[in-house]
Structure 1
Amino acid sequence: MSRRSFRRGGALLAVASLALAAPAATAQTAPADQQRQRAFAAAAEEFGVPENVLLGVSFLESRWDSNAGTPSTAAGYGPMHLTDLRAAGTGGSHHDEGGEDPRGDGRRSELHPSSPGPAPATPQLQTIDRAAQLIGTSAETLRQDPVQNIRGGAALLADYQRQTGARGETPADWYGAVTRYGDGSSFADEVFETLKTGVDRVTDDGQHLTLAPTPGLEPRSREDTKVECPRSVSCESVPAPYQELPGGGYGNHDLANRPQSQKIDYIVIHDTEGYWDDVLKLVQDPTYVSWNYSIRSSDGKIAQHVPTKDVAYHAGNWYVNSKSIGVEHEGFAAKGSWYTEAMYRTSAKLVRYLAGKYGIPLDRAHIIGHDNVPGINPAKIPTMHWDPGPYWDWSHYFDLLGAPFDHGFGLPGSKLITITPDFAANKPAFTGCESPGKPCTPRGSTSQMLRTEPDANAPLLKDAGLHPDGTPSTMDVADVGSRIDAGQRYAVAEVRGDWTAVWYLGQKGWFLNPRKAPTAKPAIGTVVTPKPGKASVPVYGTAYPEASAYPAGRTPQPIVALPYSLQTGQRYSSSGTVGSEYYYATKFDPAEHLVVKGKTRYVQVQFGHRIAYVNADDVQVLPAF
């Protein structure tokens, strides 16, 4: 862009309120599916912003989607992610909700601190006011009108550019303004990396946009060497405290020596249900719980709290905690919010780095959501959390991980399938995002519902653990009792026309899987079924050792079956055999900590929405043909 056009943008910015309707009219004259592309071009010209920079900023915030005027997890609205905390509301932390004990171990008292209260309206959470002022319109208009939202974002970006004092003649000159827009250099790095590669996609409301590649633009690298992160992301250390508390307790994690002491098998994806500043305060509270990493929504910035060698209290299941790394994402699954592209991208880079470092398979049996973690006993099942929720785009996330779900499938007719709904087109009628029973705003989801019969009106399945009263599961956004997600693998029980049934919590669960537009694909793998002579097999939420494995003076951890069973004739997807382990850590002195390893072997299975374990001596593992 020329220096002249940049000056022209500044002049137009001063009188933008006189030309509110013109860009909208220009966009409306374009073909129906290219109106948003024209809106970006018009706004870039009007405010003197390089069009590719404007497109890149928007893509990293919203993927150019309008999201039906609903807020993101960081209170952002529209394609340009203009933030409005007043309209989006506030939140605490998902660790404050319900009765889940994040540590997930009866050896120590549960930690349930109070919520931190409302988030403050920081400048990063209230950019819509300045954008509205710059173009002379209302915050409500910017929340609901994508064209005006793009104009407001372009005006704001140009305003930030003037404040930097940079000349703005080339896209590279806009690095400072982009950093300010996304509240961090990690966001700007991701934007410029996207400019280098280009993007072409169709939005949630059918708009086709293209960002042509611009070779030669290189993002900056982080310099902090005190953290365990890939060098291509912005990552800082915000340590969680390990200290003694009055009364003999301690918090908020356990020192360990992984992977020498225990192999790390899982990475658990969470959302915070709180805003960034409050989340960082909570994880630094020694009386609170902990997790290994947090990722900011606005720009994808990463903070590490607990070294990966140590065990954080995050998943509500001590076996999973001791074998996993917990990654929190600033967000609100309960509100049905959408997650930013900047956060998806840096999260995927972090998880890919950690998975490579520790040999963790990039599949949905090992990269799991908090909602996939089982309760350690029947009483804990109703208290388990369900984040990151049905609006986390697992398919897109695994594309970014370099492990897409559309590769490596089996032959037609395989008795094992991978769930693969189209995120944009799949919009289950969930309720309860804002208040109990109220329909959620329809939006893309990687979740599908299972029914008792091949009929869209048939009841949902029953979950004896989540609904011990025997009532069917519901469409409440938090109810995972009859839900399957993209990337998960299930054993096929039956096929009738366009409907497929899978084995799920001891039942057949039916979902629509049309041959012309399939929502699942054949997979290669193994399944488990009871050994001959066994009518049913117990199912467990942990893979703990037998009592005889514990040394003298160490009380064995109970092995408690869940209220489900694997019955003769049923098959469940297997993700491999694991040894039995229990990390005995009940005292502050790590010299007292001990990993107990038993002779019992377990097989991990996809038993419902959550993973589970069965004793390897009870089942046979078979290839899925």
Structure 2
Amino acid sequence: MLPLLNLPAAAMAEDSPDRQQAFTAAAKEYQVPESVLLGVSYLESRWDSHAGQPSNDAGFGPMHLTDAAAYTGSNHHAEGEEDSRGDESRPPRAVPRNPEVTPEQIPASLKTMEKAAELTGESHERLRSDVAANIRGGAALLADYQKSIGAPLSSDPAEWYGAVARYSGAQEAEAAKAFADEVYATIKSGAERVTDDGQRVNLPAVPSVEALEKWLEKLKLRVTRRDGVECPASISCEWIPAAYQELPPDDYGHYDLSNRPINQKIDYIIIHDMEGYWGPSVGLNQDPTWPGSWHYSLRSKDGHIAQQIKTKDVGWQAGNWYINAKSIGLEHEGFLAEGSTWYTEAMYRTSAKLVRYLALRNGVPLDRAHILGHDNVPGTIPGTVRGMHEDPGPFWDWAHYFELMGAPLHQFGGPRSGSIMIKPDFATNKPYFYGCDRKNPSADCPPLPASTVWLRTEPRADAPLIKDIGKHPTGGSLYSVYDHSARATTGQRFAVAERQGDWTAIWYLGQKSWFHNPASAPTAIPSMGLTITPKAGKATIPVYGRAYPEQAAYPATIPYQPVTPLQYTLSAGEKYTLAGPAAAEYYRATTFDGSDHTVVRGTTKYYEIQFGHRVMFVNADDVTISWS
């Protein structure tokens, strides 16, 4: 049976006034233009309360008031069994202990709740848990910032540019400006939505607003150097290089030189969360002994980006060398679950702009078969499947992310289409999870918006979850927030196996898997497209975690990398959605100088398919393609 939910004690108070009224009242009290207050809040939280839970950098409520007491005190970036490089040609390096996050490492910009409490007389608890108090705190901060730079408490939104920039918390002038520009773009265009707790909030468009950028100079922020970063000009981005050096006696760290896309096409962009905070995680990427690396780091509070590896080079980031060699990795500040449950709008926006920019430059399709979460990357061989990472997790809003990219997840086909795309309403879809609190790992998570649906063995709510023999060889799937074994996620496309009333079955990991999909509140939309099934006469066919070349393609100087099937079965009669062809390639890179790095190319044809929560590969000679 599905466990009962326990509502969190810290949920935003139900007796708070209407959200819109709270903004109006706070704006009037502190003489802040209501459009400015609404615009700042939208960039931080999209006006959501998040059930009183902190963000990835310990920010609370619609105004994202940051409270240092909510920091976990540690950085869990390397937890798990995964070898980030994912290549047996080099043995995995031992993972050193993660550095502790000390109070000195937490910048003052992430302690705004203390100042808000001083300005309003509200307690930290009320600023965390009461919507109206939280909004008052944000308004008080804006007014204080305005006065501190000598700007007037004007009714003209244009005069508040400096205060808005300071609210970002950024120490870099470019980052503060990018945040303020997004706020003013929102004010100019307007916005309206229903929040995660059912409150309708409206920011009427002010198309005539023109920000007075002169106030930014008063903040005297650091000027960063872009140094040839590969970022769109409209976002804040700086070059903080990852370490690359030889390590005695015969090692090097901690990425590989390449010349992409000249020698190899980039096919994927991988979305991670850091399982840690910005400062320490950026520092790990500067440590050559650290056994992982990535191309970009994104800060939660304001969306600022550090590029750390050139996109031509290969990061050790996804745990699968085939994917690593053909992908770009983005690490987002935050945790899958611990101490945080949501990502800021500022970070979503800069990340989406960066992904769109990189995708267009490299010809990467803007779909969920190529914009992958780390949790969608397959294990390389049966022995690595169980230890693969689970980030960014179920609380990443994939539908909103793709809207920000300009590639919204649309319906294609009619109600009886042979394929569907998972797409629950993020705000109202609040499935049960446990395990959000590491100090009490068996405790229920608060009911929070999520992008996933549970998959069951039968079309009923109390049916067992389907099993993942790779993740749990001897046991069943778990409701843990860290276990994706029986979950399908927004944007993923699957072939329909059956329909019964309010339930839909899809083919998933070789099983007919049911999820609740009522017509009154659908959790999936039609998505016709190409599917594969085993060729006639084949009872089963293998699936693979990488599309490596056949043995004959390897020169004598490069050891053959076996094409090892994973432990799953794809049987006759089953169908899986086809993402497209996958090149049979192996990038041989085991030396520091890169002069002997080689791409081995084969003639075997592979297809990428959505086989479970993770993508996998099949040999084209084993399957038949059809339209469903």
- How far apart in 2 are the matches of 1:245 and 1:25? 58
Encode CA deviations 1:170-215: one digit per residue, 9 max, x unaligned: 3222222112111232221211121121110011111111111222
Is 1:43 aligned to 2:26, yes or no? Answer: yes
Instruction: Report the counterpart of residue 81 of structure 2 in structure 1.
Output: 99
Alignment match, 1:565:
569
CA distance in 2, matches of 1:277, 1:232: 23
- Confirm or deny: 8 A CA contact 1:410 1:524 kept in the other structure: yes
1:383 aligns with 2:365: no
Change (3 A) 1:41 1:198: same
Note if contact 1:418-1:523 (Cα within 8 Å) is conserved in structure 2: yes
Which residue is equivalent to 1:344?
348
Which residue of 250, 256, 259 maps to 2:258? Answer: 256
Moved beyond 4 Å, runs of 4+? 24-27, 216-223
Map of 1:198 onto structure 2? 190
Alpha-carbon deviations, 1:325-356, whole Å to 9, x = none? 10111111132510111011111111111111
Q: 2:574, 2:271 → 1: CA distance?
A: 29
Indicate the residue corresponding to 1:63 in structure 2: 46
Query: For structure 1, which segment, 175-184 or 519-528, has the greater mean C-alpha deviation from structure 2 after superposition?
Result: 175-184
After TM superposition, the structure 1 = structure 2 runs for residues 533-612 of structure 1, keeping only pairs within 5 Å, are 533-612=537-616
Q: 1:403 aligns with which of 388, 402, 407?
A: 407
Q: Which amino acid aligns with 2:72?
A: G
Residue of structure 1 in register with 2:219 after alignment:
none
Shift of 1:372: 0.2
Preserved contact between residue 236 and residue 304 of structure 1 (Cα < 8 Å): yes
Structure 1's 553 and 223: CA in aligned 2 closer, same or farther, altered over 3 A? closer
Deviations 1:238-268 (A, max 9, x none): 1112211111211111111111111111110
> What RMSD in Å do the two structures reach over aligned CA positions?
1.7
Which of 152, 159, 162 does residue 173 from structure 1 map onto? 159
Structure 1 residue 222, shift from structure 2 partner: 9.2
1:430 to 418, 433, 438: 433
> 2: distance between equivalents of 1:25 and 1:425?
17
Partner of 1:209: 201
Q: Residue 27 of structure 1: CA displacement?
A: 7.2
Counting only pairs closer than 5 Å after superposition, residues 24-43 of structure 1 correspond to structure 2 as 28=17, 35-43=18-26
Name the TM-score, length of structure 2 as normaliser: 0.92
Aligned equivalent of 1:182: 168
Aligned to 1:155: 140
Aligned: 1:312 with 2:295: no
1:87 equivalent among 51, 70, 84? 70
C-alpha deviation, 1:422, in angstroms: 0.7
- The farther-off stretch of 487-496 and 327-336 is 327-336
1:75-97 per-position Cα deviation (integer Å, ceiling 9, x unaligned): 00011101112134233143x10
- Which AA in structure 1 matches 2:490? A
Q: Which amino acid aligns with 1:188?
A: A
Question: Could you tell me which amino acid in structure 1 is paired with residue 226 of structure 2?
Answer: D
The offset of 1:216, in angstroms, is 4.5
1:281 pairs with 267, 280, 283, which one? 283
CA distance in 1, matches of 2:345, 2:137: 20
CA distance in 1, matches of 2:407, 2:400: 10
Shift of 1:109: 2.6
SS at match of 2:602: strand
Using the TM superposition, give the Cα deviation of residue 54 of structure 1 relative to its aligned residue in structure 2, in angstroms. Answer: 0.8
Matching residue of 1:8: none
| Higher percent of residues as helix | 1
Structure 1 contact 27–42 (Cα < 8 Å) conserved: no
Question: For 2:533 and 2:21, how far apart are their aligned partners in 1?
Answer: 57
Q: Distance in 1 between matches of 2:138 and 2:575?
A: 52
Pair 485,125 (structure 1): closer, same or farther in 2 beyond 3 Å? same
Query: What's the CA shift for 1:516?
Result: 2.6
Tell me what 1:453 maps to: 458
SS in 2 for 1:103: coil
Is the 2:411–2:526 Cα contact (8 Å) retained in structure 1? no
| Deviation for aligned residue 1:113 | 2.6
Task: Give the counterpart letter for 2:316 in structure 1.
Answer: Y
Any idea what the Cα deviations from partners look like across 1:427-467, whole Å, max 9, x if unmatched? 11000010322100110111000000001000001101000
Describe the SS at the equivalent of 1:383: coil
- After TM superposition, the structure 1 stretch with the greater mean CA deviation from structure 2, 178-187 or 606-615, is 178-187
506-515 or 111-120, larger mean C-alpha shift: 111-120
Please state if 1:76 is matched with 2:59.
yes
**2 CA distance for matches of 1:190 and 1:205?**
24
User: 1:52-72: CA deviations, max 9, x gaps?
Assistant: 111111111111111111100
Alignment partner of 2:584: what SS? strand
Distance in 1 of aligned mates of 2:270 and 2:182: 23
Give CA deviations for 1:526-554 in whole Å, capped at 9, x if unaligned: 11100111110101100111111111111
Answer yes or no: is 1:505 the counterpart of 2:509.
Answer: yes
Deviations 1:210-238 (Å, cap 9, x if unpaired)?
11122245688998352111111111111
* Alpha-carbon distance in structure 1 between the residues aligned to 2:146 and 2:506: 55
On the 8 A contact 1:300/1:342 being kept in 2, the answer is yes
Q: How far apart in 1 are the matches of 2:88 and 2:360?
A: 32
Aligned match of 1:110: 92
TM-superposed CA distance for 1:412, in Å, is 2.3
CA contact (8 A) 2:496 2:504 kept: yes
CA deviations on 1:455-486 (whole Å, 9 max, x unpaired) are: 100000110100011x2201000111110001
For the Cα contact (< 8 Å) 2:302–2:347, is it kept in 1? Answer: yes
- Pair 1:26–1:574, CA change in 2 (3 A): closer
Residues 222 and 232 in structure 1, CA contact (< 8 A), matched pair in contact too:
no
2:418 to 408, 412, 415: 415
**Pairing partner for 1:142 from 127, 131, 140:** 127
For residue 557 of structure 1, report the CA deviation from its aligned partner.
Answer: 1.2
Cα distance in 2 between the residues matched to 1:75 and 1:125: 8
Cα separation, 2, equivalents of 1:611 and 1:222 = 38
Q: Work out the CA distance in 2 between the residues paired with 1:147 and 1:349.
A: 32
Q: Secondary structure at the match of 2:543?
A: strand
Q: Secondary structure at the match of 1:54?
A: helix
CA gap 1:293/1:217 in 2 versus in 1, 3 angstroms: farther
The one-letter amino acid paired with 1:493 is A
Match of 1:230 in 2: 232
Question: How far off is 1:563 after superposition?
Answer: 0.6
Identify the residue that residue 526 of structure 1 maps to in structure 2: 530
- Once residues 129 and 401 of structure 2 are traced to their aligned partners in structure 1, the CA distance between those partners, rounded to angstroms, is 27
Contact 2:225 2:239 in 1 (8 A): no
Correspondence for 1:486: 490
Q: In the alignment, is the contact (CA less than 8 A) between 1:26 and 1:39 conserved in 2? A: no
Q: CA deviation at 1:101?
A: 0.7
Cα deviation, residue 124, structure 1: 2.0
Between Structure 1 and Structure 2, how many residues are aligned?
592
Q: What amino acid maps onto 1:163 in structure 2?
A: S
- Is the 1:452–1:508 contact (alpha carbons within 8 Å) kept by the matching residues of 2? yes
Question: What is the alpha-carbon distance in structure 1 between the residues aligned to residue 142 and residue 251 of structure 2?
Answer: 50
Match of 2:469 in 1: 464
8 Å contact from structure 2 (residues 16, 131) kept in 1: no
- Matched with 2:149 is 164
Aligned mate of 1:440, from 441, 445, 456: 445
Q: Does 1:131 align with 2:123?
A: no
Task: Write the distance in 2 (CA, Å) between the matches of 1:311 and 1:210.
Answer: 44
Aligned to 2:216: none
2 CA distance for matches of 1:178 and 1:518? 39
- 1:496 Cα deviation (Å)? 0.8
Deviates more, 1:501-510 or 1:214-223: 214-223
In structure 1, how many angstroms separate the alpha carbons of the residues matched to 2:64 and 2:81? 34
Give distance in 2, aligned partners of 1:291 and 1:482: 28
Q: Offset of 1:42 from its aligned partner? A: 1.0
